Chain A
Amino acid sequence: MTTETVASSPEQGFSMSMRTRERILGIASPIVLLVVWEVAARLQIIDTRFFPAPSSVLTVLIEMLRSGELVTNTLVSLRRLALGAVIGGVPALILGIAMGLNRWVRAIFDPLVAATYPIPKSAILPLALLIFGLGEGSKIFMVAIGVFFPVVINSTTGVLEINRIYLDVGRNYKANRWNTFWTIALPGALPVIMTGFKLGIGIGLILIAIAEMIGAKSGLGYMIWTAWETFSVEQMYVGLFMIAIIGFVLTVLLNELERVIIPWKSA
Protein backbone atom coordinates (compact mmCIF):
# COMPACT_ATOMS: atom_id res chain seq x y z
CA MET A 1 0.00 0.00 0.00
CA THR A 2 1.44 3.29 -0.98
CA THR A 3 -1.23 5.79 -0.20
CA GLU A 4 1.20 8.12 1.49
CA THR A 5 2.82 10.91 -0.37
CA VAL A 6 6.54 10.84 -0.74
CA ALA A 7 8.64 13.94 -0.42
CA SER A 8 9.93 14.96 -3.82
CA SER A 9 13.50 14.06 -4.58
CA PRO A 10 15.91 16.96 -4.01
CA GLU A 11 16.78 17.38 -7.69
CA GLN A 12 13.41 18.84 -8.51
CA GLY A 13 11.56 22.03 -9.14
CA PHE A 14 11.81 25.11 -7.05
CA SER A 15 14.63 24.11 -4.67
CA MET A 16 16.94 23.40 -7.63
CA SER A 17 16.44 26.79 -9.22
CA MET A 18 17.04 28.45 -5.87
CA ARG A 19 20.31 26.61 -5.50
CA THR A 20 21.39 27.48 -9.03
CA ARG A 21 20.68 31.12 -8.29
CA GLU A 22 22.72 30.93 -5.11
CA ARG A 23 25.64 29.47 -7.05
CA ILE A 24 25.49 32.15 -9.71
CA LEU A 25 25.51 34.83 -7.03
CA GLY A 26 28.45 33.13 -5.36
CA ILE A 27 30.45 33.33 -8.57
CA ALA A 28 29.28 36.83 -9.50
CA SER A 29 30.11 38.65 -6.27
CA PRO A 30 33.95 38.40 -6.51
CA ILE A 31 33.78 39.44 -10.18
CA VAL A 32 31.80 42.53 -9.27
CA LEU A 33 34.38 43.41 -6.61
CA LEU A 34 37.20 43.15 -9.17
CA VAL A 35 35.37 45.44 -11.60
CA VAL A 36 34.80 48.07 -8.92
CA TRP A 37 38.48 47.87 -7.94
CA GLU A 38 39.63 48.28 -11.54
CA VAL A 39 37.45 51.32 -12.07
CA ALA A 40 38.56 52.89 -8.78
CA ALA A 41 42.25 52.37 -9.67
CA ARG A 42 41.87 53.87 -13.14
CA LEU A 43 40.07 56.91 -11.77
CA GLN A 44 42.86 57.29 -9.19
CA ILE A 45 40.34 57.06 -6.37
CA ILE A 46 42.68 54.60 -4.65
CA ASP A 47 46.48 54.79 -4.40
CA THR A 48 47.85 52.41 -7.06
CA ARG A 49 51.20 52.16 -5.29
CA PHE A 50 49.44 50.06 -2.66
CA PHE A 51 46.41 48.95 -4.62
CA PRO A 52 47.46 48.37 -8.23
CA ALA A 53 44.67 47.87 -10.76
CA PRO A 54 43.65 44.23 -11.28
CA SER A 55 44.58 44.62 -14.96
CA SER A 56 48.20 45.48 -14.16
CA VAL A 57 48.32 42.64 -11.66
CA LEU A 58 46.99 40.43 -14.45
CA THR A 59 49.81 41.56 -16.74
CA VAL A 60 52.39 40.55 -14.15
CA LEU A 61 50.49 37.34 -13.55
CA ILE A 62 50.74 36.44 -17.25
CA GLU A 63 54.44 37.24 -17.26
CA MET A 64 54.96 35.02 -14.24
CA LEU A 65 52.92 32.27 -15.85
CA ARG A 66 55.12 32.43 -18.97
CA SER A 67 58.30 32.21 -16.93
CA GLY A 68 56.89 29.20 -15.07
CA GLU A 69 57.65 30.83 -11.73
CA LEU A 70 54.02 31.06 -10.69
CA VAL A 71 53.12 27.51 -11.63
CA THR A 72 56.14 26.07 -9.82
CA ASN A 73 55.49 28.01 -6.62
CA THR A 74 51.78 27.23 -6.69
CA LEU A 75 52.37 23.51 -7.18
CA VAL A 76 54.93 23.48 -4.38
CA SER A 77 52.45 25.10 -1.99
CA LEU A 78 49.61 22.81 -3.10
CA ARG A 79 51.77 19.76 -2.58
CA ARG A 80 52.64 20.85 0.96
CA LEU A 81 48.99 21.60 1.63
CA ALA A 82 47.85 18.21 0.33
CA LEU A 83 50.51 16.22 2.21
CA GLY A 84 49.87 18.19 5.39
CA ALA A 85 46.12 17.69 5.10
CA VAL A 86 46.54 13.92 4.79
CA ILE A 87 49.23 13.61 7.47
CA GLY A 88 47.24 15.75 9.90
CA GLY A 89 43.74 14.76 8.85
CA VAL A 90 43.85 10.96 8.79
CA PRO A 91 45.23 10.42 12.33
CA ALA A 92 42.88 13.16 13.56
CA LEU A 93 39.94 11.36 12.01
CA ILE A 94 40.86 8.02 13.55
CA LEU A 95 41.71 9.47 16.96
CA GLY A 96 38.60 11.68 16.97
CA ILE A 97 36.24 8.82 16.19
CA ALA A 98 37.98 6.60 18.74
CA MET A 99 37.55 9.38 21.31
CA GLY A 100 33.89 9.65 20.41
CA LEU A 101 33.25 5.91 20.67
CA ASN A 102 35.34 5.06 23.71
CA ARG A 103 35.21 6.95 26.98
CA TRP A 104 38.66 5.74 28.05
CA VAL A 105 40.33 6.98 24.90
CA ARG A 106 38.46 10.23 25.42
CA ALA A 107 39.58 10.47 29.05
CA ILE A 108 43.20 10.08 27.98
CA PHE A 109 43.32 12.40 24.98
CA ASP A 110 40.69 15.02 25.73
CA PRO A 111 42.88 16.97 28.22
CA LEU A 112 45.83 16.84 25.80
CA VAL A 113 43.79 18.20 22.92
CA ALA A 114 42.13 20.82 25.13
CA ALA A 115 45.51 21.99 26.45
CA THR A 116 47.30 22.22 23.10
CA TYR A 117 44.41 23.52 21.02
CA PRO A 118 44.57 27.16 22.24
CA ILE A 119 48.25 27.54 21.29
CA PRO A 120 48.38 29.76 18.21
CA LYS A 121 49.61 27.41 15.52
CA SER A 122 51.84 30.10 13.99
CA ALA A 123 53.72 30.26 17.30
CA ILE A 124 54.83 26.68 16.76
CA LEU A 125 56.72 27.60 13.56
CA PRO A 126 60.12 28.20 15.23
CA LEU A 127 59.79 24.86 16.97
CA ALA A 128 58.86 23.22 13.67
CA LEU A 129 61.93 24.78 12.03
CA LEU A 130 64.06 23.57 14.90
CA ILE A 131 62.78 20.01 14.65
CA PHE A 132 62.27 19.60 10.91
CA GLY A 133 64.78 22.10 9.57
CA LEU A 134 64.32 24.41 6.60
CA GLY A 135 63.14 21.68 4.22
CA GLU A 136 59.70 20.38 3.31
CA GLY A 137 59.16 18.75 6.70
CA SER A 138 58.53 21.95 8.64
CA LYS A 139 56.03 23.28 6.07
CA ILE A 140 54.07 20.04 5.90
CA PHE A 141 54.13 19.80 9.69
CA MET A 142 52.60 23.26 10.02
CA VAL A 143 49.72 22.38 7.69
CA ALA A 144 49.24 19.05 9.45
CA ILE A 145 48.99 20.77 12.83
CA GLY A 146 46.46 23.23 11.43
CA VAL A 147 44.27 20.48 9.96
CA PHE A 148 44.64 18.14 12.93
CA PHE A 149 42.79 20.11 15.59
CA PRO A 150 39.53 20.99 13.85
CA VAL A 151 39.27 17.44 12.47
CA VAL A 152 39.95 15.71 15.80
CA ILE A 153 37.55 17.96 17.69
CA ASN A 154 34.78 17.69 15.11
CA SER A 155 35.19 13.93 14.75
CA THR A 156 34.75 13.48 18.49
CA THR A 157 31.77 15.82 18.62
CA GLY A 158 30.29 14.24 15.51
CA VAL A 159 30.37 10.76 17.02
CA LEU A 160 29.11 11.93 20.42
CA GLU A 161 26.20 13.69 18.75
CA ILE A 162 25.04 10.56 16.93
CA ASN A 163 21.61 9.70 18.20
CA ARG A 164 21.98 6.87 20.75
CA ILE A 165 19.20 4.92 19.08
CA TYR A 166 21.49 4.20 16.10
CA LEU A 167 24.07 2.62 18.38
CA ASP A 168 21.29 0.57 20.00
CA VAL A 169 20.24 -0.60 16.54
CA GLY A 170 23.85 -1.60 15.89
CA ARG A 171 23.95 -3.62 19.10
CA ASN A 172 20.57 -5.23 18.54
CA TYR A 173 21.51 -6.23 14.99
CA LYS A 174 24.86 -7.54 16.20
CA ALA A 175 27.21 -5.14 14.46
CA ASN A 176 30.77 -5.87 15.56
CA ARG A 177 33.30 -3.12 16.35
CA TRP A 178 34.50 -2.86 12.79
CA ASN A 179 30.96 -2.57 11.45
CA THR A 180 29.94 -0.15 14.18
CA PHE A 181 32.77 2.09 13.01
CA TRP A 182 32.06 1.81 9.29
CA THR A 183 28.28 1.67 9.25
CA ILE A 184 27.36 3.90 12.19
CA ALA A 185 30.12 6.03 13.73
CA LEU A 186 31.79 7.24 10.54
CA PRO A 187 28.72 8.00 8.41
CA GLY A 188 26.84 9.36 11.42
CA ALA A 189 29.63 11.79 12.23
CA LEU A 190 30.57 12.56 8.63
CA PRO A 191 28.65 15.85 8.22
CA VAL A 192 30.32 17.30 11.32
CA ILE A 193 33.70 15.85 10.31
CA MET A 194 33.42 17.51 6.88
CA THR A 195 32.89 20.87 8.56
CA GLY A 196 36.01 20.27 10.63
CA PHE A 197 37.96 19.34 7.55
CA LYS A 198 36.92 22.49 5.69
CA LEU A 199 37.91 24.55 8.70
CA GLY A 200 41.24 22.72 8.87
CA ILE A 201 42.02 23.35 5.20
CA GLY A 202 41.40 27.07 5.77
CA ILE A 203 43.78 27.11 8.73
CA GLY A 204 46.29 25.04 6.73
CA LEU A 205 46.24 27.67 3.99
CA ILE A 206 47.02 30.43 6.49
CA LEU A 207 49.83 28.44 8.03
CA ILE A 208 51.44 27.44 4.74
CA ALA A 209 51.70 31.10 3.74
CA ILE A 210 53.31 32.00 7.06
CA ALA A 211 55.65 29.01 7.03
CA GLU A 212 56.84 29.78 3.52
CA MET A 213 57.65 33.39 4.36
CA ILE A 214 60.22 32.29 6.87
CA GLY A 215 62.95 29.90 5.89
CA ALA A 216 61.67 28.77 2.52
CA LYS A 217 63.01 28.95 -1.00
CA SER A 218 59.76 28.23 -2.83
CA GLY A 219 56.01 28.44 -2.54
CA LEU A 220 53.46 31.21 -2.71
CA GLY A 221 54.36 32.52 0.75
CA TYR A 222 57.99 32.79 -0.35
CA MET A 223 56.86 34.56 -3.53
CA ILE A 224 54.89 37.14 -1.56
CA TRP A 225 57.80 37.69 0.83
CA THR A 226 60.35 38.25 -1.97
CA ALA A 227 57.89 40.66 -3.60
CA TRP A 228 57.93 42.71 -0.40
CA GLU A 229 61.74 42.63 -0.35
CA THR A 230 61.95 43.82 -3.98
CA PHE A 231 59.02 46.25 -3.72
CA SER A 232 57.14 44.60 -6.59
CA VAL A 233 53.63 45.21 -5.37
CA GLU A 234 52.00 43.56 -8.42
CA GLN A 235 53.86 40.32 -7.73
CA MET A 236 52.69 40.47 -4.15
CA TYR A 237 49.11 40.75 -5.37
CA VAL A 238 49.62 37.86 -7.77
CA GLY A 239 50.61 35.76 -4.77
CA LEU A 240 47.64 36.94 -2.74
CA PHE A 241 45.28 36.30 -5.64
CA MET A 242 46.68 32.84 -6.11
CA ILE A 243 46.13 32.00 -2.45
CA ALA A 244 42.62 33.44 -2.61
CA ILE A 245 41.87 31.40 -5.72
CA ILE A 246 43.22 28.23 -4.13
CA GLY A 247 41.06 28.89 -1.08
CA PHE A 248 38.02 29.52 -3.24
CA VAL A 249 38.53 26.49 -5.48
CA LEU A 250 39.15 24.24 -2.47
CA THR A 251 35.94 25.45 -0.82
CA VAL A 252 33.97 24.72 -3.98
CA LEU A 253 35.62 21.32 -4.37
CA LEU A 254 35.02 20.39 -0.73
CA ASN A 255 31.38 21.45 -0.99
CA GLU A 256 30.98 19.28 -4.07
CA LEU A 257 32.76 16.42 -2.33
CA GLU A 258 30.38 16.83 0.59
CA ARG A 259 27.41 16.53 -1.74
CA VAL A 260 28.79 13.34 -3.20
CA ILE A 261 29.84 11.56 0.00
CA ILE A 262 26.93 12.75 2.14
CA PRO A 263 23.95 12.24 -0.17
CA TRP A 264 21.57 11.80 2.76
CA LYS A 265 22.08 15.32 4.02
CA SER A 266 18.75 16.80 3.03
CA ALA A 267 19.28 19.65 0.62
Chain B
Amino acid sequence: MSVSASNLRAVGEIADEKESHPQPWRPAIRIGNLQKIFGKLLAIDRVSVDIEPGEFFMIVGPSGCGKTTLLRILAGLETATAGTIEIDTPPGSQRPENSMVFQGESIFPWMTVWNNAAYGLRMRNAPANVIKDRVGHYLDATGLTRFADYYPHQLSGGMKQRVSIARAFANDPEILLMDEPFSALDAQNKLLLQEELLRIWDEQKKTVVFITHSVDEAVFLGDRIMVMTAQPGRVKSLVRVPLPRPRNIIEMQKAPEFGELVHRIWSGLRDEVQRAREQENMEAETDSKEQLP
Protein backbone atom coordinates (compact mmCIF):
# COMPACT_ATOMS: atom_id res chain seq x y z
CA MET B 1 0.00 0.00 0.00
CA SER B 2 1.34 3.41 -0.70
CA VAL B 3 0.24 6.80 0.43
CA SER B 4 0.69 9.23 -2.37
CA ALA B 5 0.77 12.92 -1.83
CA SER B 6 -1.53 15.11 -3.82
CA ASN B 7 0.12 16.59 -6.91
CA LEU B 8 2.08 13.45 -7.37
CA ARG B 9 5.57 14.05 -8.60
CA ALA B 10 7.83 11.48 -10.10
CA VAL B 11 10.00 9.77 -7.53
CA GLY B 12 13.29 11.20 -8.65
CA GLU B 13 16.52 9.78 -7.40
CA ILE B 14 18.51 12.65 -6.05
CA ALA B 15 22.09 11.51 -5.81
CA ASP B 16 23.43 14.06 -3.38
CA GLU B 17 20.77 13.40 -0.78
CA LYS B 18 20.98 9.65 -0.85
CA GLU B 19 23.51 7.35 0.62
CA SER B 20 25.92 6.31 -2.05
CA HIS B 21 26.02 2.55 -1.42
CA PRO B 22 23.43 0.36 -3.12
CA GLN B 23 20.55 -0.85 -0.97
CA PRO B 24 20.24 -4.58 -0.41
CA TRP B 25 16.87 -4.11 1.38
CA ARG B 26 13.46 -3.07 0.30
CA PRO B 27 12.63 0.12 2.18
CA ALA B 28 9.86 0.05 4.77
CA ILE B 29 9.26 3.70 4.09
CA ARG B 30 10.40 5.51 0.99
CA ILE B 31 10.10 9.26 1.09
CA GLY B 32 10.69 10.80 -2.31
CA ASN B 33 11.20 14.51 -2.96
CA LEU B 34 8.73 15.46 -0.30
CA GLN B 35 7.73 19.08 -0.19
CA LYS B 36 5.32 20.99 2.02
CA ILE B 37 4.33 24.59 1.54
CA PHE B 38 2.15 26.47 4.02
CA GLY B 39 0.90 29.55 2.19
CA LYS B 40 4.15 31.27 1.22
CA LEU B 41 6.27 29.34 3.67
CA LEU B 42 8.37 26.47 2.39
CA ALA B 43 8.36 24.14 5.37
CA ILE B 44 9.86 20.98 3.90
CA ASP B 45 12.06 21.09 0.83
CA ARG B 46 12.69 17.98 -1.27
CA VAL B 47 13.27 15.46 1.48
CA SER B 48 14.17 12.03 0.16
CA VAL B 49 15.13 9.12 2.33
CA ASP B 50 14.66 5.37 2.51
CA ILE B 51 14.00 3.82 5.90
CA GLU B 52 14.93 0.19 6.43
CA PRO B 53 12.47 -2.35 7.74
CA GLY B 54 12.92 -2.69 11.49
CA GLU B 55 15.04 0.43 11.64
CA PHE B 56 14.85 2.81 14.59
CA PHE B 57 15.04 5.99 12.57
CA MET B 58 15.63 9.27 14.32
CA ILE B 59 14.98 12.76 12.99
CA VAL B 60 16.66 15.70 14.70
CA GLY B 61 16.55 19.31 13.74
CA PRO B 62 16.08 22.79 15.12
CA SER B 63 12.57 23.79 16.10
CA GLY B 64 10.50 24.87 13.13
CA CYS B 65 12.44 22.71 10.68
CA GLY B 66 9.29 20.85 9.66
CA LYS B 67 10.08 17.56 11.37
CA THR B 68 6.68 17.36 13.04
CA THR B 69 5.02 18.22 9.73
CA LEU B 70 7.01 15.44 8.08
CA LEU B 71 5.79 12.97 10.68
CA ARG B 72 2.20 14.18 10.37
CA ILE B 73 2.40 13.62 6.63
CA LEU B 74 3.66 10.08 7.28
CA ALA B 75 0.74 9.62 9.69
CA GLY B 76 -1.75 10.79 7.08
CA LEU B 77 -2.80 13.76 9.21
CA GLU B 78 -1.42 16.23 6.71
CA THR B 79 -1.00 16.09 2.95
CA ALA B 80 2.25 16.87 1.18
CA THR B 81 2.36 19.64 -1.39
CA ALA B 82 4.52 17.48 -3.66
CA GLY B 83 6.49 14.28 -3.55
CA THR B 84 5.71 10.73 -2.56
CA ILE B 85 5.58 8.52 0.45
CA GLU B 86 5.51 4.78 0.06
CA ILE B 87 4.98 2.58 3.05
CA ASP B 88 5.71 -1.05 2.36
CA THR B 89 3.00 -3.29 3.70
CA PRO B 90 3.33 -7.05 3.30
CA PRO B 91 0.59 -8.41 1.04
CA GLY B 92 -2.47 -9.53 2.97
CA SER B 93 -1.38 -7.76 6.12
CA GLN B 94 -4.25 -6.94 8.48
CA ARG B 95 -2.15 -4.48 10.41
CA PRO B 96 -2.78 -0.77 10.34
CA GLU B 97 -0.12 1.09 8.43
CA ASN B 98 1.00 3.37 11.25
CA SER B 99 0.27 4.42 14.80
CA MET B 100 1.45 7.62 16.34
CA VAL B 101 2.64 8.54 19.80
CA PHE B 102 1.83 12.22 20.01
CA GLN B 103 3.75 15.01 21.65
CA GLY B 104 2.00 16.22 24.77
CA GLU B 105 -1.09 14.76 26.35
CA SER B 106 -3.04 12.80 23.81
CA ILE B 107 -4.74 10.06 25.80
CA PHE B 108 -8.46 10.61 26.27
CA PRO B 109 -9.29 11.99 29.73
CA TRP B 110 -12.72 10.32 29.53
CA MET B 111 -11.39 6.79 29.13
CA THR B 112 -9.67 4.56 31.61
CA VAL B 113 -6.08 3.49 31.02
CA TRP B 114 -7.34 0.17 29.67
CA ASN B 115 -9.82 1.72 27.25
CA ASN B 116 -7.23 4.21 26.07
CA ALA B 117 -4.74 1.45 25.33
CA ALA B 118 -7.44 -0.58 23.57
CA TYR B 119 -8.60 2.34 21.43
CA GLY B 120 -6.88 1.50 18.15
CA LEU B 121 -7.86 -2.16 18.33
CA ARG B 122 -11.48 -1.29 19.09
CA MET B 123 -11.64 1.19 16.24
CA ARG B 124 -10.69 -1.56 13.82
CA ASN B 125 -13.03 -4.09 15.44
CA ALA B 126 -10.39 -6.50 16.66
CA PRO B 127 -11.82 -9.61 18.35
CA ALA B 128 -12.30 -9.32 22.11
CA ASN B 129 -9.69 -11.94 22.97
CA VAL B 130 -7.08 -10.21 20.80
CA ILE B 131 -7.82 -6.92 22.53
CA LYS B 132 -7.54 -8.56 25.93
CA ASP B 133 -4.22 -10.23 25.11
CA ARG B 134 -2.54 -7.29 23.44
CA VAL B 135 -3.70 -4.57 25.79
CA GLY B 136 -2.87 -6.80 28.76
CA HIS B 137 0.58 -7.46 27.35
CA TYR B 138 1.48 -3.84 26.69
CA LEU B 139 0.04 -2.50 29.92
CA ASP B 140 2.20 -5.11 31.60
CA ALA B 141 5.23 -4.06 29.56
CA THR B 142 4.71 -0.42 30.52
CA GLY B 143 4.06 -1.23 34.18
CA LEU B 144 0.47 -0.01 34.03
CA THR B 145 -1.46 -3.19 34.82
CA ARG B 146 -2.26 -1.99 38.32
CA PHE B 147 -3.69 1.25 36.92
CA ALA B 148 -5.87 -0.25 34.18
CA ASP B 149 -9.05 1.21 35.69
CA TYR B 150 -7.60 4.61 36.50
CA TYR B 151 -8.55 7.76 34.64
CA PRO B 152 -5.74 9.91 33.22
CA HIS B 153 -6.24 12.70 35.76
CA GLN B 154 -5.16 10.22 38.42
CA LEU B 155 -1.84 9.57 36.67
CA SER B 156 1.47 11.43 36.49
CA GLY B 157 2.80 12.84 33.22
CA GLY B 158 5.21 9.93 32.74
CA MET B 159 2.44 7.38 33.19
CA LYS B 160 0.18 9.16 30.72
CA GLN B 161 2.91 8.96 28.13
CA ARG B 162 3.32 5.25 28.90
CA VAL B 163 -0.39 4.81 28.15
CA SER B 164 0.15 6.57 24.84
CA ILE B 165 3.02 4.20 24.03
CA ALA B 166 0.97 1.16 25.07
CA ARG B 167 -1.87 2.36 22.83
CA ALA B 168 0.43 2.61 19.81
CA PHE B 169 2.15 -0.73 20.38
CA ALA B 170 -1.11 -2.56 21.17
CA ASN B 171 -2.50 -1.42 17.83
CA ASP B 172 0.28 -3.52 16.21
CA PRO B 173 1.00 -1.21 13.25
CA GLU B 174 3.52 -1.71 10.46
CA ILE B 175 5.37 1.41 11.54
CA LEU B 176 5.44 3.44 14.74
CA LEU B 177 5.63 7.20 14.58
CA MET B 178 6.78 9.12 17.63
CA ASP B 179 6.68 12.87 17.89
CA GLU B 180 8.96 13.96 20.73
CA PRO B 181 7.07 11.68 23.11
CA PHE B 182 9.32 12.37 26.09
CA SER B 183 9.97 16.07 25.64
CA ALA B 184 7.63 17.14 28.44
CA LEU B 185 9.09 14.74 31.01
CA ASP B 186 11.73 15.36 33.63
CA ALA B 187 15.18 13.85 33.14
CA GLN B 188 14.69 10.79 35.37
CA ASN B 189 11.36 9.84 33.85
CA LYS B 190 12.71 10.42 30.38
CA LEU B 191 15.54 7.99 31.02
CA LEU B 192 13.20 5.33 32.40
CA LEU B 193 10.84 5.64 29.48
CA GLN B 194 13.62 5.59 26.90
CA GLU B 195 14.88 2.32 28.36
CA GLU B 196 11.36 0.93 28.51
CA LEU B 197 10.74 1.90 24.93
CA LEU B 198 13.92 0.15 23.78
CA ARG B 199 12.95 -2.96 25.73
CA ILE B 200 9.44 -3.09 24.23
CA TRP B 201 10.72 -2.29 20.76
CA ASP B 202 13.24 -5.12 21.07
CA GLU B 203 10.41 -7.70 21.20
CA GLN B 204 9.31 -7.17 17.61
CA LYS B 205 11.70 -4.59 16.17
CA LYS B 206 9.10 -2.67 14.25
CA THR B 207 10.13 0.20 12.06
CA VAL B 208 10.12 3.38 14.15
CA VAL B 209 10.33 6.98 13.02
CA PHE B 210 11.13 9.06 16.08
CA ILE B 211 11.42 12.82 16.22
CA THR B 212 13.46 14.56 18.84
CA HIS B 213 15.34 17.78 19.38
CA SER B 214 17.72 16.03 21.74
CA VAL B 215 20.91 14.75 20.13
CA ASP B 216 21.59 12.52 23.14
CA GLU B 217 18.19 10.90 22.77
CA ALA B 218 18.77 10.39 19.05
CA VAL B 219 22.03 8.55 19.70
CA PHE B 220 20.62 6.56 22.64
CA LEU B 221 17.74 5.19 20.68
CA GLY B 222 18.48 5.31 16.99
CA ASP B 223 20.00 3.09 14.35
CA ARG B 224 20.29 6.05 12.04
CA ILE B 225 19.85 9.77 12.53
CA MET B 226 18.62 12.20 9.95
CA VAL B 227 19.73 15.74 10.74
CA MET B 228 17.50 18.40 9.22
CA THR B 229 18.33 21.96 8.32
CA ALA B 230 16.52 24.98 9.70
CA GLN B 231 13.52 26.15 7.74
CA PRO B 232 13.10 25.15 5.00
CA GLY B 233 13.66 21.62 6.30
CA ARG B 234 16.10 19.69 4.15
CA VAL B 235 18.17 16.60 4.84
CA LYS B 236 21.49 17.91 6.12
CA SER B 237 23.06 14.55 6.87
CA LEU B 238 22.33 10.94 7.64
CA VAL B 239 24.40 9.46 10.42
CA ARG B 240 24.54 5.78 11.29
CA VAL B 241 24.78 4.88 14.96
CA PRO B 242 27.12 1.87 15.12
CA LEU B 243 26.57 1.23 18.83
CA PRO B 244 25.52 -2.34 19.67
CA ARG B 245 22.14 -3.41 20.99
CA PRO B 246 20.67 -4.09 23.47
CA ARG B 247 21.71 -0.73 24.78
CA ASN B 248 22.11 0.44 28.32
CA ILE B 249 21.65 4.16 28.32
CA ILE B 250 23.69 4.78 31.46
CA GLU B 251 26.58 2.62 30.23
CA MET B 252 26.41 4.17 26.77
CA GLN B 253 27.25 7.58 28.07
CA LYS B 254 30.66 6.32 29.15
CA ALA B 255 31.54 4.92 25.73
CA PRO B 256 33.91 7.16 23.72
CA GLU B 257 31.99 6.43 20.48
CA PHE B 258 28.89 7.91 22.06
CA GLY B 259 30.64 11.18 22.87
CA GLU B 260 32.14 11.39 19.40
CA LEU B 261 28.82 10.82 17.71
CA VAL B 262 27.00 13.36 19.83
CA HIS B 263 29.78 15.83 19.17
CA ARG B 264 29.69 15.22 15.43
CA ILE B 265 25.94 15.61 15.18
CA TRP B 266 25.90 18.63 17.43
CA SER B 267 28.51 20.50 15.44
CA GLY B 268 26.42 20.00 12.33
CA LEU B 269 23.25 20.93 14.09
CA ARG B 270 24.64 24.00 15.82
CA ASP B 271 24.82 25.99 12.59
CA GLU B 272 21.20 25.12 11.91
CA VAL B 273 20.00 26.07 15.37
CA GLN B 274 21.93 29.33 14.99
CA ARG B 275 20.31 29.92 11.61
CA ALA B 276 16.84 29.11 12.98
CA ARG B 277 17.42 31.61 15.74
CA GLU B 278 18.51 34.32 13.30
CA GLN B 279 15.38 33.66 11.23
CA GLU B 280 13.24 34.07 14.31
CA ASN B 281 14.97 37.32 15.18
CA MET B 282 14.48 38.62 11.67
CA GLU B 283 10.81 37.74 11.76
CA ALA B 284 10.44 39.44 15.13
CA GLU B 285 12.16 42.54 13.73
CA THR B 286 9.96 42.75 10.65
CA ASP B 287 6.94 42.20 12.87
CA SER B 288 7.88 45.06 15.15
CA LYS B 289 8.64 47.30 12.18
CA GLU B 290 5.25 46.60 10.72
CA GLN B 291 3.65 47.64 13.96
CA LEU B 292 5.33 51.05 13.87
CA PRO B 293 3.20 53.90 12.50
What is the 8 Å Cβ interface bit string for chain B, positions 164-199, against chain A (1 contact, 0 not)? 000100010000000000000000010010001000
A49 at the interface (CB under 8 A from B): no
Report if A264-B143 is in contact (Cβ < 8 Å); known contacts: A4-B158, A4-B189, A165-B104.
Answer: no
Cα–Cα distance between A264 and B111 once the two chains are bound (Å)? 8
B96 at the interface (CB under 8 A from A): yes
Cα–Cα distance between A165 and B99 once the two chains are bound (Å)? 14
Which chain A residues in 243-267 approach chain B with CB under 8 Å?
A: 262-264, 266
Q: Which of A2, A3, A10 has the most CB of B within 10 A?
A: A2
Report if A4-B156 is in contact (Cβ < 8 Å); known contacts: A168-B77, A171-B76, A174-B96.
Answer: yes
**Contact residues on A (Cβ < 8 Å of other chain), bracket:** 20 to 34
B123 at the interface (CB under 8 A from A): yes
Report if A165-B105 is in contact (Cβ < 8 Å); known contacts: A6-B155, A6-B159, A172-B76.
Answer: yes
User: What's the minimum C-beta distance from A263 to chain B, rounded to whole angstroms?
Assistant: 7
User: What's the minimum C-beta distance from A168 to chain B, rounded to whole angstroms?
Assistant: 6
Which chain B residues in 61-100 approach chain A with CB under 8 Å?
A: 75-77, 96, 98-100
A215 at the interface (CB under 8 A from B): no
A36 at the interface (CB under 8 A from B): no
B120 at the interface (CB under 8 A from A): yes
B205 at the interface (CB under 8 A from A): no
B110 at the interface (CB under 8 A from A): yes
B151 at the interface (CB under 8 A from A): yes
B109 at the interface (CB under 8 A from A): yes
Contact of A173 among B110, B120, B150 (CB under 8 A): B120
Residues of A that sit less than 8 Å from B by CB: 1-10, 165-166, 168-169, 171-176, 179, 183-184, 187-188, 190, 262-264, 266
Residues of B that sit less than 8 Å from A by CB: 75-77, 96, 98-100, 102, 104-106, 108-111, 119-120, 123-124, 143, 146-147, 150-156, 158-159, 167, 171, 189, 192, 196
